[in-house]
Amino acid sequence: MDSILVRGGTELSGDIPIAGAKNACLTLMPATLLSDEPLTLTNAPRLSDIRTMTQLLASLGAEVTQLQDGQVLAMSSHDINNLTADYDIVRKMRASILVLGPMLARCGRAVVSLPGGCAIGARPVDLHLQGLEALGATLDLKDGYVHAEAKSGLKGAVFEFPFVSVGATENILMAAVLAKGTTVLKNAAREPEIVDLAQCLRKMGAQIEGEGTSEITIQGVDRLHGATHPVVPDRIELGTYMLAPAIAGGSVTCLGGRLDLVSAFAEKLAATGVDIEETATGLTVSRKNGRVRSVDVETAPFPGFPTDLQAQMMALMCTAEGVSVLEERIFENRFMHAPELMRMGARIDVSGGTATVTGVESLKGAPVMATDLRASVSLILAGLAAEGETRVSRVYHLDRGYEHVVRKLSGVGASIERVHGE
């Protein structure tokens, strides 16, 4: 099994290109099922999750061709010949549930396995199902599969999410674009990935208003046509690489980075004493004056501090001056990286959804194990600041969300390499 070897103590300098957003691309890809005309995505990230979604779409009859070294996805769903999303594929990735709404809207029927993914809490699909039922779908859960049907087509409705859910907002939004009449989604998610999806669907002929706010209105149309759409830059990859010079020292420009995608995170990072400058090419992040200051963090739905940057921020707080409190409000069971950071000398006390971090002057390299996607990169970041050598094992998690992480970090001076297992 592969591992990543990091030798700390080197300041960083240079440019890191930011890829297209994994979570946006995984949402945009199922949109091809809504039309019999081609949908082309540019700026696509090259990740294992994208390959899994490609495999899932192909199993349903869609054609997906990777062009320009995988950065362009040319898709066509003119012939959907299978309405069952099988467990063997869906179990690998929670985003697979996003084929449910589009298939149901276009074909009137779908059978989708309940999904898998990172072990960071229950993350049930109840809201997806409740929203589709509000649009007139009949649902039955049998043997681990959702059997969905809308014999007379979906119908517009008003649906209020009892709590904010990005995935459920995406799924119901896609279903509603082909429903008869008007759909209003209240307490909808506001993430940039939702805005990106709405913009793509609008290019395909959908009538959508209000994306980026808590109320989205969709006027159903009879059919969608083809389109070409660029995937929005990955705000989580952006935040991760903004933390690299903050942890290791130096100055790095994140090419293609936009402040509006990470405003809450950038505000906290700046409060630690790190300099952030928005330029014509991206965001330049610099730390040149000793240790950073501790800050408290509370994760929240967008535009709040992203849960997907909590583990990486904790790595920075491990060597900050003072005591910081990190509260995880989105997913339970998301401090599994804390014991691994403690193996490197970090002082962390976890109680329920709260982690208290007392900064130390330096971390020590150690063998550590990744437990999920964001935890894996947090350990790599910690390794950049640690004395000696850090070996991160189980890095297959990393391949789901970060393309060429070794190449990107070594390109700005980090001593990092991937060691292939037997």
148 and 223 within one domain: yes
255 and 269 within one domain: yes
Helix residue ranges, H only, 32-163: 48-59, 87-90, 100-107, 126-134
Instruction: Give yes or no for a contact between 70 and 78, defined as CB atoms under 8 angstroms apart.
Output: no
Active-site annotation, residues: 118
149 and 283 within one domain: no
Any binding-site annotation on 287? no
* C-alpha to C-alpha distance for 28 and 193, rounded to whole angstroms: 9
Coil, helix or strand for 311? Answer: helix
pLDDT at 222: 97
* C-alpha to C-alpha distance for 342 and 14, rounded to whole angstroms: 30
Counting Cα atoms < 13 Å in the Cβ hemisphere of 15 gives: 9
Of 203, 230, 257, which closes a domain? 230
- Which residue, among 144, 60, 47, 65, has the nearest Cα to 102 in the 3D structure? 60
347 and 198 within one domain: no
Of 230, 254, 287, which closes a domain? 230
Any binding-site annotation on 139? no
Here the tokens at position 213 are 């706010």
pLDDT at 330: 84
Any binding-site annotation on 69? no
128 and 7 within one domain: no
Any binding-site annotation on 343? no
321 and 196 within one domain: no
Coil, helix or strand for 161? Answer: coil
Of 201, 230, 259, which closes a domain? 230
Any binding-site annotation on 126? yes
* C-alpha to C-alpha distance for 171 and 159, rounded to whole angstroms: 13
pLDDT at 398: 86
238 and 123 within one domain: no
181 and 320 within one domain: no
Residue type, 25: C
Q: Mean pLDDT per 10-residue run, the chain (422 residues)?
A: 94 97 96 98 93 96 94 96 92 89 97 66 75 97 92 97 94 98 97 97 98 98 97 96 98 97 98 97 93 96 93 97 95 85 97 96 96 88 97 88 93 96 68
Cis ω for the linkage preceding 233 (within 30 of 0): no
- Which residue, among 382, 327, 381, has the nearest Cα to 356 in the 3D structure? 327
- Which residue, among 165, 159, 232, has the nearest Cα to 195 in the 3D structure? 232
* C-alpha to C-alpha distance for 217 and 333, rounded to whole angstroms: 34
53 and 8 within one domain: no
* C-alpha to C-alpha distance for 268 and 273, rounded to whole angstroms: 9
Any binding-site annotation on 125? yes
Kindly state the helix (H) or strand (E) to which residue 28 belongs, with its residue range.
helix 22-28
Instruction: Give yes or no for a contact between 335 and 328, defined as CB atoms under 8 angstroms apart.
Output: yes
309 and 196 within one domain: no
Q: How far is CA 274 from CA 80, 252, 338, 414, in A?
A: 51, 12, 23, 19
Q: How far is CA 194 from CA 100, 166, 201, 324, in A?
A: 17, 7, 11, 31
Any binding-site annotation on 123? yes
409 and 265 within one domain: yes
Q: Could you tell me which residues come within 8 angstroms of residue 174 by beta carbon, excluding any fewer than 6 positions away?
A: 30, 31, 34, 98, 101, 102, 105, 197, 201
pLDDT at 372: 83
355 and 263 within one domain: yes
What CATH number is attached to the domain comprising 406? 3.65.10.10
Instruction: Give yes or no for a contact between 86 and 59, defined as CB atoms under 8 angstroms apart.
Output: yes
Give the phi and the psi of residue 210 in degrees, each rounded to 5: 95, 0
Any binding-site annotation on 218? no
pTM score, two decimals? Answer: 0.89
The DSSP-derived string for 249-306 is -EEEEEET--GGGSHHHHHHHHHTT-EEEE-SSEEEEEE-SSSPBP--EEB-STTSB-
Give the phi and the psi of residue 239 in degrees, each rounded to 5: -60, -40
The range of the structural domain enclosing residue 178 comes to: 22-230
How many structural domains compose the chain?
A: 2
